[in-house]
Every structure is written in C-alpha cells, then in structure tokens.
Amino acid sequence: MASNLRIALIRGDGIGVDVADATVAIVDAALAKVGAPSFTYEDIQAGAGYFKETGHDIEPGGEDRAGEMDAIFLGAIGLPAIRHTDGTEIAPHLRLREIYGLYAGLRPVKAYPNAPQRLADPRAAEIDMVILRESTEGLFYSAATHGRSDIRGDTEVRDTLRITRETTEKLHHFGFRYAERRKERGRPGRITCVDKANVFASMAFCRKIFDEIAPNYPGIEAGHNYVDAQALDLIRRPWDFDVMVMENMFGDILSDLAGGLVGGMGMAACAEIGDKVGLFQPAHGSAPDIMGQDKANPLAAILSGAMMLDYLADKADNAQLSDAATLIEDAVADGFEANALRPMEFGGDMGTAAVTSELLSRLR
Ligand code: ATP
C-alpha cells in the first residue's frame, strides 16, 4: 500500500544513482517492517549528465515540483568534466537550498565499532555528535554561485559574511530542540555555540542570540567555544561534544574534520531543513573515480534516509516513521558490531550491493 507521502527523488550523477537506489530499498524495507505504507517516489531529472544531454541542470519545473513534495532525497550531483561555460560545476541543489531557505544543515558524526577510528584514545569509540551548520547565509551568502561577491577589477575582491536575526533565531531554536530530542534518546543534552565572537561583530551577534534563546531550554546545557579552540577540541576530546551549532563556513570545515574522525565520506549523512522543505543527501559527491564499479559505500545515503524518516515522522505526526528510522540506525550499528558491514571504502570486501543486502536481511 502506498501512503500519501511523496518523495522527490533526484538520483543525480555517478554513485549518487547507486546510493539513492540503495536508500529507497532500505527505507521501503524499514517501512514494511513497522507496518507503515511505502512512500511514493517521483523522479526528478537533474545533474551534470542531464545538463550534457539537455542544456538544463534540472528538468523544467523541477525545483517547484521538488518543493511540493513531502521531502526531497538526493543522491549526488556534479561531474568534474561537465561544467558551465564559466567553469563552475553543475549544482542545481545549491539553488534548492537557496530557494527553500534550507538553513539547518545537520551532519551527524558517530563512531561505529569495526569502522576506522583515527584517534588512539579508546574514548574515540564514544564519539556521537552532530554539527548543525547554518546553510543559507554566513560567508556562503557571497558564494560564487550567488553572484554576490564585490569584485573590483583585478585588484580587490570582497565577500560578505551575513548573519540575520531571523535565521539565527530559527537556527538556535532548532539546535536546542534537536539537543532535547537527542537527550530523550540517551545523549547528554548539550549544545555548544561555535563562533569567533571575540573578533567579529557578526559572530558576537550570533552568540548574543544564542544566549537569549538558551533560557527557554533549561534541560539543555548550553556552552560556547571559539572555532579555533573547537578544531583543537575535536581532536583532543571529541567524545565530550553533543550538538554544535555554527556559521556556514565554520560548519563546512569542521564537518569534514569531524567526519574524518570516524571513517570517511561514505559515512557522512546530511539533512538540510527549512521551514517547509527538507532535503536529505549524503554529504559526499558523485565520486567519479569509483562510479559504475559497485564500490560506493551507501551508508551515508542510507543514514540520510533515516534522517528523512525522522523528519517526516514530525511533519506527518506519525510515530511509525520514527520507529522505521530507529530500525535503520540500529541495523547499521548492529551490522558494524557484528563485523557484518565491511565497506570497501574501509578496505573491506563489500561493495554497494553487498552492504545493501546485508542491511536488508537485518530489516526483514
Ligand atoms: P563534491 O565536491 O561534489 O562534494 P568531491 O570532489 O569533494 O565532491 P567526492 O565525490 O565526495 O568528492 O569524493 C571524494 C573522495 O571520497 C573520492 O576519492 C571518492 O571516491 C570517495 N568517496 C566519496 N563518497 C564515497 C562513498 N560513498 N563510498 C566510497 N568512497 C567515497
């Protein structure tokens, strides 16, 4: 039975297609297991391959159609050899982020047993944190794709870092609520505002709004850290952090650093959430070096699929969807624990199909 929940499915390019297909299979299995009806997927063509064929980076009306669905799932977009005439890569997903105001970029970072750990300290096994990256303004407000750089000939270029009260209030509320939700699931209930408030007025403003909002959430321990100290602490004691909220560029950098602590890009799940629209995608790209070889680790995409289920559980007020998300997360954790998930990305013997079928067998 199909539910009335509709997902815009943008498979995209390279391994994006494989990991998106794997995610659909796993999400369907989890829904069936909890007795919930399956989703209706509506394909939207987009990406570098589509651009090469048609001259468009997304099918006509694709952005509107995507925004009308209950959620958007995206595999990966872009191929280095196919570019616009100005040399920039094909990136319609950045436009979706802009159009739909997807300000809350969630990037969970969790250590799994038998997956690579880069730190020798045994406490590295306890790493379980989330970076909440503001994703519509900050320094990316001026990103080249938005055409907002102030280019003064060949002598000077100025990029603007923008922090607005409206977005920052929403961001911090989102962060505190997310910390509360994690606390219900056994995490410590802690949030750290990561900034550079000692140097920049924009960052002091961001911190001021954080401090204004904190008293609304008495059950959550709120703290601050300067971004340079946070980089150090992510190496020295990452196990002490829970939710970290930060400006766009800081989040871009620290989420790669944090992701590196627990493996690689194939584990990097991502959600981008706005007031009305949520987009879910692995944080990695289309990986042209391994495309078409069944070598991609689909877990980043699959864990992003679990985040989509959680998001829809709230949106549709349906606890079954949240149970389906937990089933997927537990299947991944148990699979690693039993050493039954051995992705090639980590030197193991399992390609995309084998990882997917192992998880499917755990969900049946
Ligand atoms: P983008 O800029 O589009 O995010 P990128 O150029 O940073 O992409 P990716 O496509 O993410 O690069 O690939 C970076 C490296 O990580 C490549 O060597 C790629 O093979 C590897 N990689 C990325 N995703 C996966 C995955 N799911 N499984 C295994 N390896 C991956």
Active site residue 228: yes
Strand order in the sheet with 128-134: 38-43, 2-12, 71-76, 278-280, 271-273, 104-110, 128-134, 243-246, 190-195, 221-226
Query: In this predicted structure, what is the pLDDT of residue 148?
Result: 85
Give 85-132 pLDDT, tens digit per residue. 888 889 999 889 989 999 999 999 999 999 988 999 999 999 999 999
Query: In this predicted structure, what is the pLDDT of residue 117?
Result: 87
Nearest-CA residue for ligand 1 atom 20 is 287
Q: Indicate whether residue 302 lines ligand 1 (CB < 6 A).
A: no
At 2, is the pLDDT very low, low, confident or very high (cuts 50, 70, 90)?
low
Ligand 1 centroid – CA 232 distance (Å) = 25
> Tokens for 70?
């209950």
Q: Indicate whether residue 48 lines ligand 1 (CB < 6 A).
A: no
Give 165-210 pLDDT, tens digit per residue. 999 999 999 999 999 999 999 999 999 999 999 999 999 999 999 9
Q: Backbone phi, then psi, for 110, in 5-degree steps?
A: -135, 135
* Mean pLDDT of the 276-293 span: 96
Tell me which residue has tokens 């750990």: 117
Ligand 1 centroid – CA 285 distance (Å) = 5
**Ranges 19-23, 92-96, 296-300: which has the least confidence:** 92-96
Ligand 1 centroid – CA 266 distance (Å) = 8
Q: Indicate whether residue 274 lines ligand 1 (CB < 6 A).
A: no
Task: Quickly list H helices, the chain.
Answer: 15-33, 48-54, 62-68, 92-99, 165-184, 201-213, 227-236, 248-261, 299-315, 319-337, 352-363
Atom of ligand 1 nearest to the CA of 298: 27
Query: In this predicted structure, what is the pLDDT of residue 192?
Result: 98
Whole-number mean pLDDT of the chain? 95
Q: Indicate whether residue 290 lines ligand 1 (CB < 6 A).
A: yes
DSSP 338: T
DSSP 266: G
Ligand 1 centroid – CA 10 distance (Å) = 18
Using alpha carbons, select from 46, 27, 100 the residue that is nearest to residue 68.
100
Nearest-CA residue for ligand 1 atom 29 is 296
* Mean pLDDT of the 289-302 span: 96
Beta bridge partners of 43: 9
Model confidence at 277: pLDDT above 70: yes
**Annotated catalytic residue, options 50, 103, 112, 141:** 141
Around Cβ 198, how many Cβ atoms within 10 Å? 9
At 264, is the pLDDT very low, low, confident or very high (cuts 50, 70, 90)?
confident
Query: In this predicted structure, what is the pLDDT of residue 4?
Result: 86
Active site residue 252: yes
> Tokens for 345?
């990305």
pTM: 0.95
**Annotated catalytic residue, options 150, 211, 228, 275:** 228
Ligand 1 centroid – CA 338 distance (Å) = 26
Query: In this predicted structure, what is the pLDDT of residue 3?
Result: 64
* Mean pLDDT of the 297-325 span: 97
- Helix, strand or coil for residue 128? strand
Using alpha carbons, select from 201, 219, 128, 135 the residue that is nearest to residue 170.
135
Give 153-166 pLDDT, tens digit per residue. 999 999 999 999 99
Give 34-56 pLDDT, tens digit per residue. 999 999 999 999 999 999 999 99
Atom of ligand 1 nearest to the CA of 19: 27
Give 326-347 pLDDT, tens digit per residue. 999 999 999 999 999 999 999 9
Domains of the chain are 1-103+265-364 (3.40.718.10), 117-150+159-261 (3.40.718.10)
**Annotated catalytic residue, options 57, 196, 217, 311:** 196
Using alpha carbons, select from 342, 348, 340, 324 the residue that is nearest to residue 37.
324
Distance CA(51)–CA(155), nearest Å, equals 34
